[in-house]
Chains A and B, each alone.
Chain A
């Protein structure tokens, strides 16, 4: 790998080739060690490796393309500046995810303060017209979940992570992942009730029904 004297013209035109070539040759830890010493080329390998994952998770949280892009990129910038406190023996993504999750949380809080509810977001879903309403309802349902349940749903369904992987990324025990996923599913199932052809669970009518 070239030293730090490499100009931006040399770095920018062919990022992907560089990333692919080097990602296979070096372990993540070695690449991170180089990035930690200030190699932006090495950091580019890391960014290229995780950018899609980061973007789609952020999109799941904030429901808006531009915000997801800004937040994921900002988080990579922030992570690069904090690399000196990062222990390269650990995997990069859970650490990065914590940074990005905080940014998403801040973003959602600000949105809530401004009373902007980001629900008009079917545009970010790949959708066909006949399913549009169903998907919109589901998406709104996901948006209405508490943050920790939303997190589990995004990681499970949009990243297809296993329980163990979700536990590793979020730092939660596998048992908690399992019960949170169950709770989230139960809530979403209720929201989607009529689309799933499920019986409506109407309000209890008190003593009359029990007699």
Chain B
């Protein structure tokens, strides 16, 4: 086995991740090879330095508030859905009432009636198109596909 391969094994040897057979061959090699022994000692120093580094833990208050922040975001999500739903219902109802009023009013000229209908039909088509696009995007979002 070449030195490079042994150096890689030494790295795992230090982690205590080798099986008995590999452990034994690393130990035998270390006893016989100064170059790899140097690598072993360097790695030990490196481990020492890495052992000194740790990340600062945020305050206890932050952990206590951690879930509350997630909860608020989840609740707000539902809030937005309800708000949008309510707005759509009101919008459609208002439009329906307006169309009813315009159609049934004999004083309004036919051209204006057609104009209002065309306008509302256009808005509906655009709205449906946007909703469909959003729905399509949501379905294709990559995070949803992570289920392996």
- Interface set of A (CB-CB < 8 Å, partner B): 8, 11-12, 15-16, 40, 44, 47-48, 51-52, 55-56, 59-60, 65, 69, 73-74, 76-78, 80-82, 85-87, 95, 98-99, 102, 123-126, 131, 134-135, 138-139, 156-158, 162-163, 171, 178-179, 181-182, 185-186, 188-189, 192, 195-198
Number of B interface residues in the complex (CB < 8 A)? 39
Whole-angstrom distance from the CB of B98 to the nearest CB of chain A?
A: 36
Q: Top 3 closest A-B pairs, CB basis? A: A182-B11, A182-B8, A196-B45
Whole-angstrom distance from the CB of A45 to the nearest CB of chain B?
A: 10
Inter-subunit contact A125/B53 (CB<8 Å): yes
A82-B144, A102-B142, A162-B17 given as contacts; is B45 within 8 A of A51 (CB)? no
Query: Does B100 reach chain A (CB closer than 8 Å)?
Result: no
Inter-subunit contact B17/A178 (CB<8 Å): yes
Whole-angstrom distance from the CB of A4 to the nearest CB of chain B?
A: 12
- Interface set of B (CB-CB < 8 Å, partner A): 7-8, 11-12, 15, 17, 42-43, 45-46, 49-50, 52-58, 62-64, 66-71, 73-75, 77, 142-148
A60-B55, A73-B70, A76-B70 given as contacts; is B148 within 8 A of A185 (CB)? no
Number of A-B contacts (CB under 8 A): 119
Inter-subunit contact A15/B67 (CB<8 Å): yes
Residues of A within 8 A of B55 (CB): 56, 59-60, 124-126, 158
Inter-subunit contact B43/A185 (CB<8 Å): yes
A56-B55, A86-B147 given as contacts; is B12 within 8 A of A178 (CB)? yes
